[in-house]
Amino acid sequence: DTEVTQTPKHLVMGMTNKKSLKCEKHMGHRAMYWYKQKAKKPPELMFVYSYEKLSINESVRSRFSPECPNSSLLNLHLHALQPEDSALYLCASSQPKRGETTQYFGPGTRLLVL
Amino acid sequence: GESVGLHLPTLSVQEGDNSIINCAYSNSASDYFIWYKQESGKGPQFIIDIRSNMDKRQGQRVTVLLNKTVKHLSLQIAATQPGDSAVYFCAETSNSGYALNFGKGTSLLVTP
């Protein structure tokens, strides 16, 4: 079972709102990822968690705040976003091993910032 | 630098034909490669992977070829079906990190 689920599927928010994206994995992977994907572009890595600890932050602006409350859940808290932050936000999981490990993606949350 | 464009490279094939999607990479330290399929409105779906100690790997209707000399990766899809229509991304990583580096993607359109 390689399933990763994400909620909500769609989200519309204003620039002053605070919202959260949720990701849940249903397998024994201990590495989790957040990616941002703009239309017709490849996914761009934002954060990596390994064993529930943040190991990579790809210089993401502070209006995005990740959280890993346990080994199955990953959240992305959003605050004071800009319209250019509108994108598909993807969660993925893998074995916590550098290199040679497949990342499995969830369906994504499509975010629109007005 | 990366060109900014609104259009993905597109490959159009007829149903039943074979498809070949190509990908070039630049990092000579890359040692693991993955092909993903992304249908509209969905997340990337794993298709097949290959390690750098191999030059060919076959799955069901798909074959991945790796040429490390010229840093080139290809995905061959046999007897392409309408359900194969999607954007295909190659991705690579190395032993030094977690990050997957994605290629720009190719849009495959299968016509009946």
Tens-place pLDDT, residues B56-97:
999 999 999 999 999 999 999 999 999 999 999 999 987 667
pLDDT of res. B4? 40
Comparison of pLDDT for A67 and B2, the residue scoring more: A67
pLDDT of res. B3? 38
* Shortest alpha-carbon distance between residue A107 and chain B (Å): 4
Tens-place pLDDT, residues B10-63:
999 999 999 999 999 988 888 899 999 999 989 999 999 999 999 999 999 999
Nearest CA in chain B to A48: B98
The one-letter amino acid code at A33 reads Y
Spell out the SS3 assignment of B37-66. EECCCCCCEEEEEEECCCCEEECCCEEEEE
Nearest CA in chain B to A38: B6
What are the pLDDT tens digits along chain A (114 aa)?
468 999 999 999 999 999 999 999 987 888 999 999 999 999 999 999 989 999 888 888 889 999 999 999 999 999 999 999 999 999 999 987 766 678 999 999 999 999
Measured CA to CA, the distance from residue A47 to residue A57 in angstroms comes to: 5
C-alpha triplet B57, B12, B50: angle, nearest 5°: 15
pLDDT tops 50 at residue B1: no
Contact between B4 and A72 under an 8 Å Cβ cutoff? The reply is: no
Tokens of A6: 């994400």
Nearest CA in chain A to B52: A100
pLDDT of res. A55? 87
Residues from A contacting B (CB-CB < 8 Å) are 2, 4, 6, 31, 33, 40-43, 45, 48, 50, 55-56, 58, 90, 92, 94, 98-108, 110
β-pairing, A64-70 vs A53-57, is: unpaired
